[in-house]
Structure 1
Amino acid sequence: MNILISGASVAGPALAYWLRRHGHTPTVVEPARQVRDGGYAVDFRGEALDVLDRMGLLEQVRALDTHMGDAAMVDGDGNRYATLPAVIFAGDLEILKGDLTRILYEATRDDVEYVFGDSIASLEQDETGVRVTFARGEPRMFDLVVGADGLHSRTRELVFGPEEPFLRHLGIYTAIFNLDNYLGLENTGRLYTVPGKAANIFSARDNTEARAALHFVSDPLDYDRRDVEQHRRIVAEHFAGEGWEVPRLLKEMMSAEDFYFDANAQIVMDRWSEGRVVLLGDAGYCSGPTSGRGTSQALIGAYILAGELAEAGGDHAAAFTAYERQMRGYVTEHQQVGREGAERFFMDPPT
């Protein structure tokens, strides 16, 4: 089948890999003009490592392991008062998200069509296929469409309606950006917390760079998701007057090219497919960053969805039903982990 995948982060390229293995012809459309870099570290746990191994990518991923050690909790003067064990935040294996995205793209680019700088504008499906119009490209027909386009999925919106009924806010907002490793961190990090706020810096890429994250507690905010300058102002206002390295981080944030800001949230849906359209990863069942399971769910979901399509021999309805049956319990468990993680996110870790 000719299958359109919306999103070229983790779930999309992973699915494209397995669809090609099973003889399908995937096309991946991505609004960004190139493979996305930046982002925080992501980790793998349990069965996700098996999926990477079956893809022949486990050793490549291991070669880019952050090798993150324990991180120091510091007060406003920079004095260490506790230690956060690496096992809590780094999983069984940790890698920068940008590195993982690049690995998946390189593993699929030779036999998968990637369309960068474009996105789905509309979907119209019938018993023969899905007619897709694009923001820039010419309309095309596909047998199936997969929404692997993240928390704010355009595919989900077109097929299931606005995101509000499905979005479960976890009460935390996060900003992430790259910066120089000016603290000279070596495979470690520093974490500064006050009630309702946290600032983190971790070394990255063999200590040649660093990643920073600023988190704060808030009820849902009303803002334009496309207005990056507004996002920077929101974060700066919440962290104004804080100590430690926060003033320097706010200054770095204002000029960071890869700045990212969003709510920690989950997507909770009764079903993940409608006709010939199905959702994968965060688009259908985001568990939230506080779960530490999002990347694993994306890889495992892609493996199962492609496998069920192969097993069903062209019966997409049967494949989608089997895919959801296999994934539902796994997702429910991890979403509970995400909710519990959000509740204790700002608590002091054990010393």
Structure 2
Amino acid sequence: MRILISGASVAGPVLAYWLTRHGFSVTVVERATALRKTGGHAVDLFRPAMDISEKMGVLPRVEKRATGTKRMTLYPEGARRPVGVDVAKIFGAASDRHVEIMRDDLSEIYYDTTREDVEYVFGDSITAISPEGEVRFENAAPRRFDLVVGADGLHSNVRRLVFGDESRFSAFIGAYLGVLTLPNGFGLDGELRMHVGVGRTAGMYGARHLGEARALFLFRSERELDYHHRDVPRQKELLRNAFGGMNAEVDHWLDELERTPAFYFDSITQLRMDTWSRGRVTLVGDAGYCPGPAVGGSTTLAVVGAYVLAGELARAGGDHERAFPAYERGIAEHVRGSHAVALSAAKTLIPTSRLGVSGLVQATRLISALPAGPSRAFVRLATRSARLYNSMTVEDYPPSPVASAGRSGRGSE
């Protein structure tokens, strides 16, 4: 069977790895002209994604490229003194297996382990998908595939083509995210400097292997802001309006907006769909069920979703009419949990009141001060995310050549 995947970030390469392991022939099409290395931001891999990465044989590389964030200096807006926090202890208390890694690094690792067995087509995009599996592209000639998978992120092109406009499924949860790359003037290595105020949070972190730093901005908005997703000057203006005057250090970070080599800005939006499959097409990761960038563990959910989708297709012998419903049943509970966690996490990370700012500071100080055992118990009692990811399990899908029929060719013209 020939399967086309749109998107070469995280979910796409993970899905490609497991599909080829199960005997399918896979092509990945990516709009970017090369593997994206645009700065990106740090993402979390929790225990289930770590387990899947270990099965893929890439865990040593993942751990080697970890950001290694161990310390956080928390500056509550208006307070006289910062609070030092042992981040390593917080992460250790929240999950029994966890790594923070730059998204671009993770994408490169997953791509590298698949590029010898998977056909990657960069610099192209899908323009149409017929019910029979004929796919048209912006540049390449039409080709026929047995199945098509959208792994192309929150603003999925495949979802738009097959399910309709994004506005039908997106739910704005009242916040925005901005990330920019800037010089590591503080020489940060394993440290996060974080400023927290009512309705806005800004942080800067770095790691030795990065050679640069990232500034992360989260802010609340009661209404959706007016901007186009490709209008970068307008996005930078919105960020300045939200954070200007917060702190001299934050103002310095904002000064880098005109010089930054990499900038990202988007709403923190959830994707809520009744089904992720239609005919020969299905969605995986943020394309189908994004819980919200930066707040909902979307990277772990994407890795788990890709693994389950490939496993169910193998189990069903490539019969998508059986595999797609099984895939949706297999991750539905995880998706619901991640969506709920994201709403809770957004309130914590971007406090809505001075009391919320104080509560965040006191909670992190308490966790950092307690011994490992009590702090772990405290976090698991106090946070829904820790309970969710530590209880998330997936089936073991042994490698199987059940789908090897038709593997001799990649997408016919």
Query: What TM-score do you get using the length of structure 1 for normalisation?
Result: 0.94
Q: Does 1:271 align with 2:275?
A: yes
CA distance in structure 2 between the partners assigned to 1:205 and 1:302 by the alignment: 31
SS at match of 2:288: helix
Name the CA shift for 1:2/1:249 in 2 (closer, same or farther; >3 Å).
Answer: same
| Aligned counterpart for 1:102 among listed residues 95, 102, 108 | 108
% identical aligned pairs: 45
**Offset at residue 183 of structure 1 (A):** 1.3
Q: Does 1:262 align with 2:287?
A: no
| Aligned counterpart for 1:310 among listed residues 299, 307, 314 | 314
Within a 5 Å distance, the mapping from 1:57-96 to structure 2 comes to 57-75=58-76, 80-86=81-87, 88=90, 92-96=98-102
Paired AA for residue 339 in structure 1: L
Q: Does 1:236 align with 2:237?
A: no
Alignment partner, residue 159 of structure 2: 156
Q: Please list the CA deviations of residues 90-146 of structure 1 after superposition, one character each: whole Å capped at 9, or x if unmatched.
A: 9611111111011011111111111111111111113xxx11111222211111000
Alignment partner, residue 35 of structure 2: 35
Bigger mean CA offset, 313-322 vs 231-240: 231-240
Alignment partner, residue 297 of structure 1: 301
CA distance in structure 2 between the partners assigned to 1:333 and 1:146 by the alignment: 23
SS at match of 1:151: coil
Alignment partner, residue 119 of structure 1: 125
Name the CA shift for 1:155/1:144 in 2 (closer, same or farther; >3 Å).
Answer: same
**Offset at residue 180 of structure 1 (A):** 1.3
Alignment partner, residue 179 of structure 2: 176
How large is the RMSD of aligned CA atoms in angstroms? 1.8
**Offset at residue 227 of structure 1 (A):** 1.4
The answer as to whether partners of 1:290 and 1:341 remain within 8 angstroms in 2 is no
Residue segments in structure 1 that go unaligned for 5+ positions in a row: none
SS at match of 2:101: strand
**Offset at residue 63 of structure 1 (A):** 1.1
Greater RCO (Cα-Cα under 8 Å, separation 6 or more): 2
**Offset at residue 77 of structure 1 (A):** 8.5
The answer as to whether partners of 2:296 and 2:339 remain within 8 angstroms in 1 is no
Paired AA for residue 340 in structure 2: Q
Richer in helix (by share) = 2
CA distance in structure 2 between the partners assigned to 1:96 and 1:204 by the alignment: 10
SS at match of 2:159: helix
The answer as to whether partners of 1:78 and 1:244 remain within 8 angstroms in 2 is no
**Offset at residue 166 of structure 1 (A):** 1.0
**Offset at residue 84 of structure 1 (A):** 4.4
Q: Does 1:50 align with 2:56?
A: no
Alignment partner, residue 329 of structure 2: 325
**Offset at residue 23 of structure 1 (A):** 1.1
Q: Please list the CA deviations of residues 269-294 of structure 1 after superposition, one character each: whole Å capped at 9, or x if unmatched.
A: 11010000000000111111344411
Name the CA shift for 1:111/1:33 in 2 (closer, same or farther; >3 Å).
Answer: same
The answer as to whether partners of 1:291 and 1:335 remain within 8 angstroms in 2 is no
Alignment partner, residue 206 of structure 2: 203
**Offset at residue 257 of structure 1 (A):** 2.2
Q: Please list the CA deviations of residues 132-168 of structure 1 after superposition, one character each: whole Å capped at 9, or x if unmatched.
A: 1112222111110000011111111111111112111
CA distance in structure 1 between the partners assigned to 2:184 and 2:48 by the alignment: 33
SS at match of 1:5: strand
CA distance in structure 2 between the partners assigned to 1:205 and 1:307 by the alignment: 37
Name the CA shift for 1:290/1:179 in 2 (closer, same or farther; >3 Å).
Answer: closer
SS at match of 1:342: helix
CA distance in structure 2 between the partners assigned to 1:96 and 1:338 by the alignment: 20
Alignment partner, residue 138 of structure 1: 141
Q: Please list the CA deviations of residues 314-337 of structure 1 after superposition, one character each: whole Å capped at 9, or x if unmatched.
A: 211100010001100011011110
The answer as to whether partners of 1:186 and 1:207 remain within 8 angstroms in 2 is no
The answer as to whether partners of 1:72 and 1:80 remain within 8 angstroms in 2 is no
Name the CA shift for 1:247/1:51 in 2 (closer, same or farther; >3 Å).
Answer: same
**Offset at residue 207 of structure 1 (A):** 6.4
Paired AA for residue 291 in structure 2: S
Richer in strand (by share) = 1
The answer as to whether partners of 1:74 and 1:192 remain within 8 angstroms in 2 is yes
Bigger mean CA offset, 89-98 vs 113-122: 89-98
**Offset at residue 52 of structure 1 (A):** 0.5
Q: Which has the larger radius of gyration?
A: 2
**Offset at residue 229 of structure 1 (A):** 1.8
Paired AA for residue 199 in structure 1: A
